[in-house]
Amino acid sequence: MVSLHPLLDNGIVKGNPDHAGGTLYCKCANDPVEVTLTSNVAHNHACGCSKCWKPAGALFSIVGVVPRDALAVTANESKLRVVDPKAAIQRHACAECGTHLYGRIEVDHPFKGLDFVHAELSPQDGWQEPQFAAFVSSIIEQGFDPAKIGEVRDKLHAIGLETYDCLSPPLMDLIAVYTAKKSGALK
């Protein structure tokens, strides 16, 4: 089978719940973009959507969130470009190597105030381990053989990840509460 993701292929390494953050770097050999995080990630998960940055050959990205005020670009910010200016999540990628450093939401959205990051871009250990797999069936939209999707789900389950074709139930509940409050159905 192809790689799910290098952090998943040999099992999941538990993170440290007291991890205080670290530094992310793009893949440039010279003058890499540097992003400093002052907190651990939350809701870290394998994501099969077509928008997230994935290592070469991987079916999934590993992405989590940090509070917006816990993220600062600390070197070579001028190299960052927004991948898709029309997307709700403004993914900031290095213009030279293509690595996505963070995604920020600037529009009215349930997750506004949280920045999406790939903690694997950090040399520090201890980041929260993946908690679930989201948008699993989306890998089919990207050309993965639908006859083999069961094998992918089985492999994800075998390493302890529940699989969803959306986000996890707690995150979907947060979206529903946000939407209900916005419409006035909940106060």
Which residues are identified as catalytic?
47, 49, 52
Measure Cα distances from 72 to 51, 146, 162, 187 in Å: 22, 40, 32, 34
According to DSSP H, which parts of 30-184 are helical?
Answer: 138-141, 149-158, 169-183
Q: Are 61 and 5 in contact (CB under 8 A)?
A: yes
Angle at Cα 118 formed by Cα 62 and Cα 30, nearest 5°? 130
Residue 81 amino acid letter: R
> What sign for the dihedral angle of Cα 122, 127, 132, 134?
negative
Residue 65 amino acid letter: V
Q: Nearest to residue 160, comparing CAs of 180, 133, 142, 187?
A: 133
